[in-house]
Structure 1
């Protein structure tokens, strides 16, 4: 029996669908009831150790997808409460229930603004609380595994930006702008972005559940890495029939607009889709390497097909009644 903590979310729902198709038994532990698997959901928060201990009874492996991850989380203490203290509670509940396998989805955010081609041995240099707390959580899970290294399995998966059908995160916002014809490229557009399709991430998590005792760390990226000009031009062609990127703004101007929205958010207390950190992230290289390609895992969907499937579902068909998931 597998327990998917945070299984009501975007990645968790796809993972649970895969587990159901492969006839694996699983339960979902989440603070929200799953829209797709409500009957399999136990309501519990990773911050509540007592409920977590009960929820994980009879489980053989844990997949931890629970996290505070948005750029604009308030109060900021939630990053530590959920990502760090939540990891401690999961480890304690696992020990009390004699669970010896944990798969933890961390993030490439632990590397910060990393050099192009950063692999799993890259320098840890997070630039925000999300990346910092993901790294601290990794250390907590490592300490848990080290208590019984011959018996316990720890798999740390660091995905890059995850996209796909029904997600309402940064990639969707980019695609929606292109579809509207109002997209403005900021900067030269030569920066490369690593991406990960949700079905492939779910498939790799499922694959990881079969690993033997030990510690495994993987970046998860679907190759090849597109530069922004190529990505936008290809999506523009698919959605509007016109290639190219359209109007382009210099980076300094985009950053100025971002700082303006930062100030407006500070004054009004409202959250806006534009901010200086989002502009900076958009213009930065975020291209990673991965040792996944040295394993026997092969992603079920190639990246170009994954992008086409997402565009088709979100903008060329009417799927307005389907459940959606909000994330960064």
Structure 2
């Protein structure tokens, strides 16, 4: 139930060519794995990587046409609607590990109550069904956005919550509800972990496409002063972090949340310059103030809501230019044995190459 659908892809974590399973993930062999949100960027990359490792994996998507597309690629796929009132039991029967990535995201035509039904109630219902079915692990994809505009830099998992919009508020509500339920399970019951991705990007990503397009076409204008912190998370690192959550000892991960990102945080202005440099274009210099753009986003959301259509600009996108994001990855390194492998220049170069190969920039 994400809107960042994965087009026909190739390379990086999206490859379907057979790969050797790294030794640290050997325990996944023989396990039955479920990936929800398999039509999205993150869920799709995870599904493809698990399949490339020749593991036993099935995906779920929101719509039948998405399932058909993945089936044509050779994946096993089912339709799971987090808004449905039907039981979710059938999806988790005989499953050993659930990677719950599906969420309502950037669906601006829906109100917060609908978001809550998907991102809290639907996620909790799936978690309960998994526990009842005897699933061994439930890895829940949350978001670093539960910390919102971070006031403590770098942000730790214990930093105060500060969700800024309906997506982040409902994702936080879902994470809390799942952990509250998991505390009621037996000591040897299902292991429950929350993985909080940062600003995930890389080959296959469509959410940051407009940013890359405007920079590489020379049409980009910075909203604000560009001094806020940005922390990218490359898709390859993000996929690895899910697998790290799935194999780490219970004592390290049960009822624990982990912030996940790549390389080091940088100023947003530096990120823009990196994209320009890696793309071989001049660095943009234009700036516009935040307030009028934010107000335009609010007005567009109000006007477009009755038509259940996505507005051309919305406040969450403006938040990209105003919210600080910088994360301390110490906990993930120590408890998950997580290590970022992709630095910012390399990841940005890969992303530009993929966009250009697909004729998107």
**TM-score for both structures, normalised by structure 1:** 0.88
Please say if 1:86 is aligned against 2:122: yes
For 2:203, the equivalent position in structure 1 comes to 165
Name the CA distance, whole Å, in 1 between partners of 2:205 and 2:261.
17
Give the alignment of 1:214-293 within 5 angstroms. 214-242=254-282, 244-249=283-288, 251=289, 254-267=290-303, 269=305, 271-290=310-329, 291-293=331-333
Name the CA distance, whole Å, in 1 between partners of 2:318 and 2:293.
9
| Residue 43 of structure 1: how far off its partner (Å) | 1.6
SS of the residue aligned with 2:348?
Answer: helix
SS of the residue aligned with 2:157?
Answer: coil
Q: Determine if contact 2:104/2:119 at 8 Å carries over to the other structure.
A: yes
Name the CA distance, whole Å, in 2 between partners of 1:82 and 1:246.
41
| Residue 186 of structure 1: how far off its partner (Å) | 2.2
Moved more, 206-215 or 31-40: 31-40
Q: Determine if contact 2:36/2:100 at 8 Å carries over to the other structure.
A: yes
Aligned residues: 314
For 1:118, the equivalent position in structure 2 comes to 155
For 1:46, the equivalent position in structure 2 comes to 82
Where in structure 1 are there 5+ consecutive unaligned residues? 321-328
Name the CA distance, whole Å, in 2 between partners of 1:168 and 1:298.
25
Deviations 1:26-65 (A, max 9, x none): 1112223343455400122233364521121110111101
Question: Against the structure 1 CA distance between its residues 37 and 287, is the aligned structure 2 distance closer, same or farther, given a 3 Å change threshold?
Answer: farther
Aligned pair partner of 2:224 in 169, 187, 198: 187
Name the CA distance, whole Å, in 1 between partners of 2:237 and 2:255.
21
Deviations 1:129-166 (A, max 9, x none): 22221122112221332212333211101111211222
Q: Determine if contact 1:60/1:100 at 8 Å carries over to the other structure.
A: yes
For 1:324, the equivalent position in structure 2 comes to none
| Residue 95 of structure 1: how far off its partner (Å) | 2.6
Please say if 1:155 is aligned against 2:193: yes
**TM-score for both structures, normalised by structure 2:** 0.80
For 2:344, the equivalent position in structure 1 comes to 303
